[in-house]
Every structure is written in structure tokens, then in C-alpha cells.
Structure 1
Amino acid sequence: MVPHLSPAAADALRTALLRSRYTTDGVRELLGPSAHAALGRGELEPAFRASRDGGELGVLVRLLLLGSTEPDAAVAAALAPLAPADAAAAGLLAPSGQGWTAALDLRPYGDEDGDWWVLSDLDARRQERDHVTGVGAASLTLAAATVRRPVGSLLDLGTGCGVQALHAGRHAAAVSATDVAPRALAMARATFALNDLDVELLDGPWLEPVRGRRFDQIVSNPPFVPGPARVDYVYRDSGQDGDAALAALLRALPDYLEPGGVAQLLGSWLHVRGEDWPDRVRSWLPAGVDAWIVQREVSDPALHVGTWQRDAGLDLASPEARRQAGAWLDWMERERVEAVGFGFLTVRRTDGEPTVVFEDLLGDVADPLGPETAGWLDRVDWLRAHARDDALLAAPLTVAPSVVLETYAEPGAEGWTEVGAAVARLDGPRWRHEVDGPAAALLAGCQGALALGELVDLLAFAHDRPADELVAATLPAVREFVRHGVLVPA
């Protein structure tokens, strides 16, 4: 069954959830830190115990989060003014003996500005072809990396259960969302109704439903799992061979962006024997775009296949899973795939000289990348405006407040001997750059009082080096410092 919340049912359910405090904070407070953390690991018993005396909120936690069957009277009280029978008619509950059980996953989700509720499929449907995932790692990753600036129009391409569109409603005047899967569209429609969010919801593959339109911002968590041209699961498989779907999407995006419009998406690309992965992805980029491609993970073929089989809830030892894995690995061998990369792709339509940067950012990043992406776009604009050497040399710069100089030494017969230094940001992606003595001295002088050229002249005099030589050696590094936010315009 798919959800179909009428306006009246959505209003009644929202009233019940708010009254019982079925929100992120409410659930966290009821369960306490230990049981809440255990629930995040899939360990249910601590949450059952913590919710015993939780009143109506405890009933909803057990019913909607823990998969419990709850008595009719308790469910009726917790969902009032929405009757359990009406909730069942809307596709949310199913009768079970003398009580009710959840037919869909309905859970609170929020950010620093408030709460929403998200509807998706239960884990019991994970192996169904049209399974609709909820707030998973990919959704959270994209949400954290998205630029949150006021825009007129935003498109959530492949909305699924609607997570990115919920966030978009905070900063976009008009939000449109598309999906090719009828079940996903129904789930998103119910999610938007429950959250009283006005979203234009469109049916169709990829960009087809918005052909001829342009947007200020596009976000997408598309089916990005490279593999043979098949669709085992609609949410992750494109039906195209390898990374061809991502390549086609990148080529098409600029035609759907307003001038200066930004598209942000998750994606995976193949590391093919004999190719550099940046060259492969660069070949997909059309003219007239800035692009920042950040590789976050690299998986070998076996890890890639195993990860996505586990994601589908398969028993990896079963004959079916082994046959699927074998076919997938055979395909990778034929295509000379050595690894699979995963990361963020930010593309901006520009009339200026495009800036295209590929970077590896492997490992954990504590801070969300959305502010960093916004800063990267701003810094690229500034560098474009100061593309001439004389313009850059005339600019006063300052070291960002979060930047520190690290020095390191090695032991010797006479104690520690300094052998190197690096400047590093302590926020965002923690960019780090090795520097020599002159570079460290130049950065120390960047305090916003003098133009860069004046500092270079002083440095040349102090080190008895020709100024032109120092300029040629310094400006490429300065541009990289600015791009990484180590140096900022004063």
C-alpha cells in the first residue's frame, strides 16, 4: 500500500505528533543518550525499556520506530484526533490482532531550525524493486554539503521520500521535485502534506519533467551505483551501463540552470585501468561551468559490490547473492574497473573563464561542507576578478582566523631538528599545505594592511632574491591558499 494523506488527515496527524512531542528532541529526551545511541545502531531493546513509561510518546516510539504492535486504545489516544482506522486507510497503519502496527516508516527528522517528519518504506521491503529509502547516509551527506542561500527556484531531482526538498523549503521561494518511481512520488507527496510544505511534484525520468525550464539551484541524489545496465532497485540503479547516467546528467545540467545557477549532486565514477579518474569526469563537463569535484571515498570492486548488497539487505552467503555478486564482478573485470570513487559534484553555470578543480578529501570531515562549498564558489569569483597577476598583487589579504602554522621536527644527536612546516585550517575540510620559510613569512605578513605585492617586495629584499622570481614562485601558491580559504580578501 502507498500513503495517501488527505489534507484533513495530514492536519490531524500533525496535531497528534506535535502534542505528543514526537520530534527529534522529544524522542531523544524520552530515550536518553544511551538508548538513543543504541537505537541508531539498530539495537532495539534499550529503547523499548526507556519508552515503557513514556505515555503517548512512548506508544508512538514503539509503534512507529520499534515495529511493535500496540493496543487499539493506546494508539487511538496517541494519534487523536486521527482515528487509527483513518490512519490505516491512509496507508500508515495495519491491523494486528487487537491492536495496530506500522505499515510505513514515519520518523521525526530535523535541523537546527526545526523539525519535520519523513515517510518511507519499512526495512521489511528493502528487497523490493521499488523500495523507498528514508533518511539514510546519502541523504544526510547531500543535505550537509548543499549551499543554503536564498534562491528563487530549486529543483530536487529524484526526490525519493523528499528529504532534500524539505531542506530546500527553508531557503528557496519555489521548490520543484521529480521522481520516476510512483511509490516514491506517493511517499514524497505524503511527506510534504504532513509537513504542510508546498512542493511542485512532477513524474518522469531525470530532467524530462522540467524540459525547457531553468532553476537557480538543483540538488540531486540520483541513482549513482555503477554496475551492469540493469535496475534491481529503483532508488540506486540507473539502468545504464557503469557511470554513463552520471555522465549524461552532468552534460545536461547547465541547460537547466539560470546564469550563475548551482547544481549539487552525489555521484560515483569508475576508476578504469589506464585512465586518471579526473580526466574521465572532466570529459563529461560541458563548456561554461565552474566545477568542484570532491572524491570522498574509493572502494575496490569487491568492497563496492559487497557494500551495496548489504545495503539491499541480502544474505551475502545465499546462492542468489553470490550469483549477483559474480555477475557484477565479471562486468567490472570486462570494463577494466580497478575501483569506484564516490563524492560531491558542484557545477555552476558561468559566463567567465571556467574554474574546474578535482580534489580528494578522504576520511572523516567533522564540519558540514555546505558552507565550504558556498565559500569555494565565492573565492572562485574573487580569483576570477583578480585573474591578472597585477590585480592579485594589488590586493590586501589576511590569513583566515582558523589557520595555524604547524612545525615538525625529527630527533637527532643534538636534539630535535625542525624539518618542515605546514599551514592548516582547523575548520571545514581541514585543508593543509606544506610551506617553506619564505612562504611562512609571507603568510605571517598577510594581515590586511599591505597589498600582496608590497609583501613580496619586502620578502625579496629580506631573502636577497629577485622580486620577479619570487612573484612567479608565489602567485600559484597564493591562488591555491585563497581557493582553500587559508587566505581571504581583507
Structure 2
Amino acid sequence: MDPQLSPAVADALRTALAKASYSTDGVRALLGGSAHAALGRGEVEPAHRATRDAGELGVLVRMLLLGSVEPDAAVRAALAPLDPADAAAAGLLRPADRGDGDGWEAVLDLRPYGDEDGDWWVLSDLDRRRQERDHVTGVGAASLTLAAATARRPAGTLLDLGTGCGVQALHATRHAAAVTATDVAPRALAMARATFALNELDVELLGGPWLEPVAGRRFDRIVSNPPFVPGPPRVDFVYRDSGMGGDDALAMLVRTLPDHLAPGGVAQLLGSWLHVRGEDWPDRLRSWLPDGVDAWVVQREVADPALHVGTWQRDGGLDTASPLAREQAGVWLDWMAEERVEAVGFGHLVLRRTDGPPTVVFEDLHGEFEDPLGPEVDGWLDRVDWLRAHATDDALLGARLVLAPSVVLERYAESGTDGWNEVGAAVVRMDGPRWRHEVDEPAAALLAGCQGALALDELVELLSFAHDRPADELVAATLPAVREFVRHGLLRPAGP
């Protein structure tokens, strides 16, 4: 049964959850750091122990998060003013025989989720339903990854393409005046509708495949966590399989999303692409881009075919040693071999409609970093605009630049017969994605001199004198690096 929350049920449930402090802070405080971390790993016993004698909040945590059957009287008290029978009629609970009396258990996963501005409650399918074709995932790793990478500047209209349970749309309501969410799966739409109703949010929900529900419309922003798992052209799970072979679905989105962007509009999505023998992966993705689009593609992971298949089989709840999983893996790996697939990349794609000469950048970013990528996306778009306005050498040389305060210079040496011999240096931005660039002595000196007082051409003249090198030679050597330093935020335009 799909959830159907009437206004009365949504109001009563909202009141009950708030009354019990069923929030991210409330649950975390109840469980404590150790049990909360264990629950994140799928280990539930510490959480069960932490919720003993925890009153109404303990009942809700055990029933809604841990899958326990709770006694009728305790559930009635925890859910008041919502009657458990009304919650069952709405598709949230079902009666369960505890053996020593009547009780209730959750039919759906209902959990608090929030950001720095507050909490929501999110409805999704329980893990025990994971092998169902129309399983609706909750707040998982992919959802969190996209949410952290999304730029949050105010927007008039925003489209969440393939909304699932509605996580990206929830975030979008913080910074977009009007939010539209689409999905091809009726169960996902029902789950998202219930989530939005519970949180009193006005989101336009449309059903249909891909961009058909918004044909002819344009948006200021588009976010999408699409079914991006490359494999044979079939659909085992709607949330991950597109029904199109390989990375054809991603190619289709890259080609068509810009048609649904307003001028200057930005689309952000997660995706996986194939590394095909004899092809360069950036060239493969570049061939998908239409004209008039800035593109920033950041590859975060690369998996060999066996790792790729095993990861997604485990994600689907399969025992990889079972006969069914082995048969499926064999078909998948045979398909990859026939398609000459050597690896599968995963990462972020940022697309922007532009009237100027497009900037298209592909790069790898495999290291771990804690800062969210969203502010970096905003900064990258601004820096690309600035570089486009300073595209000529003369314009760049006339600019005054400032070294970002988070940038440090690292020098490294190797041991020799006379002690340590310096062999290189690098500048590193210690915030954001921790961008790192190897530099020689003139480049290091140039960066140190970027304090906003002198224009770049004046600094080059000083370097020319100090290092006894022709100025035009330094210009040719340093300007490409300066553009990269600006694009990665190590150098920033000085104020007026």
C-alpha cells in the first residue's frame, strides 16, 4: 500500500513527532555518540539498549527506526493525538501480534533528517522491502552526496528530476521560490507527496519518464539523482536502473537538460560513465555536450567491473555468493566485456547555459575532504565568469589578485650525501576540495606577491628583474598557471 496522508493525519502525526522530540538532535541525544554511530553501520543492538526506559521518544525510535513491534498502549501514547488505526489506514503502520498482546509495527521508514536550518521528516521504504522492483530508498549516500554538492543560491524555479522520496526537493525549498519534482515511479511520487504533506511544503509533483512531465518548461536550477548505474539495458530496481544500456541515460540527460534551463540556469546531477578501452573518458563525455554550455565534471571514484557489479548487488540486498547473484553478475560482467568496459567512473556534473564561449573542464578529485562541495560549485561558476571577462592576456595582466588566506606552500626534499635536498614545492588550498598545484620558484614568488596592491603585469616585471628572466618568457610560463590558480580559488580578484 502506498502512503496516503490526509491533512488531518499529517497534522496529528506532525504534532506527535514534535511532542516526542523525534528530531535529529533528539534522536542523537537519546542514543549518544556510540549507539548513533553503530546505527549508521546497521548495528541496532546498542540503539535498542539506549532507548530502554526512554518514554515516548524511545517507543518511536524503536518502532520507526529499529523495526521493533511496540505494545498498543505505548504506541497510542507516543502517537497521540494520532490514533494508530488511522496511521495504519494511511499506510504507516500495521497491527502485529507480539505473542503477549496486540502491538504495532512500522510499514515505512519514517526518520528525522535536517540541515543547518532545521529538520524535516522523510518517508521511504524499509530495508526489508529492498529487493522489490519499485523500492523507494531513503536518505542514502547518493542523496547526501548530491545535497552536499548542490549550490544553494536563491532561485526562482527549481526542478528535482527523479525525486524519489523527495530529499533534494526538501533542500530546494530553502532557496527556491517554486519547486517542481518528478518521478516515473508511482510509489516514489506517493512517498514524496506524503513527505511534503508531513512537512507542510508546497511542491509541484508530476509523474512520467525523464523530462516528459516538464516538456516545454525551463528552470533556473535543476538537480537530479537519476538512475545512473551502468549495466545491461534492463530494470531490476527503478531507483537505480534506467532501462538503457551502459551510460546512455546519462548521455541523454547531458544532451537534453540544457534545453530545460533558463539563460544562466544551472543543472547539477550525479552520474556514472564508462571507461571504454581505446577511448579517453573526458572525450567520451565531451561528445555529449550541446553548444552553449559550461560544464564542470568531477570524477570522484573509479571502480573496476567486478567491484562495480558487486557493490550494486550488495546495495540491492543480494547475497553475492547465492546462485541468483552469481548468474546476474555473470550476465553483467559478460555485457561489460562485450562493450570493452575497463572501469566505471562516478562523480558530479555541473552544467550551465551560457551565451559566452563555453568553459568545459574535466578533473579527478579522489581524495577525501570534509567541506561540502556546494560552495565550491558557486565559486567555480563565479570564477569561470571572471576568467571569461579576462580572457585576453592584457586583461588578465591588468588585474589585481589576492592569494586566498587558506593557501599554504609545501616544500619537499629527499635525503642526499649532504643532507636534505629540496626537490619541489606545491601550493595547497586547505579548504574546500584541497586543490593542489606543483610550483617552481618564480610561480611561488608570484603567488606570494599577489596581495592586491599591484597588477599582475607589475608583479611579472619585478619577477623578471629578480630572476633575471625576460618578462615575455615569464608571461608565457605563468599566465596558464594563473588561470588555473583562479579557477581553483587559490587566487581571487582583489576588491575595488
Q: Shift of residue 257 of structure 1?
A: 0.2
Aligned to 1:155: 159
**Where do 1:372-411 residues align within 5 Å?**
372-411=376-415
SS of 2:485's partner is: helix
**Where do 1:82-481 residues align within 5 Å?**
82-97=82-97, 98-481=102-485
**1:40 and 2:40 are equivalent in the alignment:** yes
- The one-letter code matched in structure 2 to 1:119 is L
SS of 2:307's partner is: helix
- The one-letter code matched in structure 2 to 1:257 is L
SS of 2:136's partner is: coil
Aligned to 1:73: 73
In structure 2, what is the Cα distance between the partners aligned to 1:236 and 1:229? 12
SS of 1:223's partner is: coil
- The one-letter code matched in structure 1 to 2:493 is P
Q: What CA deviation, in whole Å up to 9, does each residue of 1:259-315 have, x standing for no partner?
A: 000000000000000000000000000000000000000000000000000000001
Is contact 1:158–1:206 with CA below 8 Å preserved after alignment? Answer: yes
SS of 1:317's partner is: coil
Q: Shift of residue 86 of structure 1?
A: 0.4
SS of 2:68's partner is: coil
- The one-letter code matched in structure 1 to 2:477 is A
In structure 2, what is the Cα distance between the partners aligned to 1:122 and 1:105? 5
SS of 1:9's partner is: helix
SS of 1:178's partner is: strand
Q: What CA deviation, in whole Å up to 9, does each residue of 1:157-202 have, x standing for no partner?
A: 0000000000000000000000000000000000000011100000
In structure 2, what is the Cα distance between the partners aligned to 1:469 and 1:410? 30
In structure 1, what is the Cα distance between the partners aligned to 2:253 and 2:401? 38
SS of 1:375's partner is: helix
Is contact 1:229–1:242 with CA below 8 Å preserved after alignment? Answer: yes
- The one-letter code matched in structure 2 to 1:466 is P
Q: Shift of residue 37 of structure 1?
A: 0.8
List gaps (5 residues or longer) in structure 1: none
In structure 1, what is the Cα distance between the partners aligned to 2:473 and 2:421? 29
In structure 2, what is the Cα distance between the partners aligned to 1:381 and 1:246? 26
In structure 1, what is the Cα distance between the partners aligned to 2:109 and 2:371? 29
Q: Could you state the TM-score of these two structures normalised by the residue count of structure 2?
A: 0.98
Q: What CA deviation, in whole Å up to 9, does each residue of 1:36-76 have, x standing for no partner?
A: 11111111111111101211000000000010000111101
In structure 1, what is the Cα distance between the partners aligned to 2:450 and 2:253? 42
- The one-letter code matched in structure 2 to 1:289 is V
SS of 1:96's partner is: strand
Q: Could you state the TM-score of these two structures normalised by the residue count of structure 1?
A: 1.00
Is contact 1:379–1:482 with CA below 8 Å preserved after alignment? Answer: yes
In structure 2, what is the Cα distance between the partners aligned to 1:39 and 1:206? 35
Which runs of structure 1 show a deviation greater than 3 angstroms over 4 or more consecutive aligned residues? none
Q: What CA deviation, in whole Å up to 9, does each residue of 1:239-261 have, x standing for no partner?
A: 00100010011100111000000
Aligned length: 490
SS of 2:492's partner is: strand
- The one-letter code matched in structure 2 to 1:322 is R
- The one-letter code matched in structure 2 to 1:162 is G
Query: What RMSD, in angstroms, separates the aligned Cα atoms of the two structures?
Result: 0.5
SS of 1:91's partner is: coil
Q: Shift of residue 417 of structure 1?
A: 1.5
List gaps (5 residues or longer) in structure 2: none
In structure 2, what is the Cα distance between the partners aligned to 1:328 and 1:412? 52
SS of 1:351's partner is: coil
In structure 2, what is the Cα distance between the partners aligned to 1:299 and 1:365? 19
SS of 2:473's partner is: helix
Aligned to 2:51: 51
Aligned to 1:5: 5
Moved more, 405-414 or 175-184: 405-414
In structure 2, what is the Cα distance between the partners aligned to 1:204 and 1:94? 30
**1:17 and 2:17 are equivalent in the alignment:** yes
Is contact 1:223–1:235 with CA below 8 Å preserved after alignment? Answer: yes
Is contact 1:297–1:363 with CA below 8 Å preserved after alignment? Answer: no
Q: Shift of residue 416 of structure 1?
A: 1.3
Quick one: percent identity of the two aligned structures? Answer: 83
Q: What CA deviation, in whole Å up to 9, does each residue of 1:392-418 have, x standing for no partner?
A: 001000100100000111112221121
Is contact 1:22–1:60 with CA below 8 Å preserved after alignment? Answer: yes
Q: Shift of residue 363 of structure 1?
A: 2.9
- The one-letter code matched in structure 1 to 2:177 is A
Q: Shift of residue 474 of structure 1?
A: 0.8
- The one-letter code matched in structure 2 to 1:48 is H
Is contact 1:294–1:345 with CA below 8 Å preserved after alignment? Answer: yes
SS of 1:309's partner is: helix
SS of 2:427's partner is: strand
In structure 2, what is the Cα distance between the partners aligned to 1:489 and 1:53? 58
Aligned to 1:26: 26
Q: What CA deviation, in whole Å up to 9, does each residue of 1:92-148 have, x standing for no partner?
A: 001001010000000000011100010000011100000000000000000000000
- The one-letter code matched in structure 2 to 1:35 is A
Is contact 1:376–1:484 with CA below 8 Å preserved after alignment? Answer: yes
In structure 2, what is the Cα distance between the partners aligned to 1:297 and 1:365? 13
Q: What CA deviation, in whole Å up to 9, does each residue of 1:374-430 have, x standing for no partner?
A: 100000000000001111001000100100000111112221121111000101110
SS of 2:352's partner is: strand
In structure 1, what is the Cα distance between the partners aligned to 2:43 and 2:322? 25
Is contact 1:156–1:218 with CA below 8 Å preserved after alignment? Answer: yes
- The one-letter code matched in structure 1 to 2:32 is G
In structure 2, what is the Cα distance between the partners aligned to 1:412 and 1:304? 44
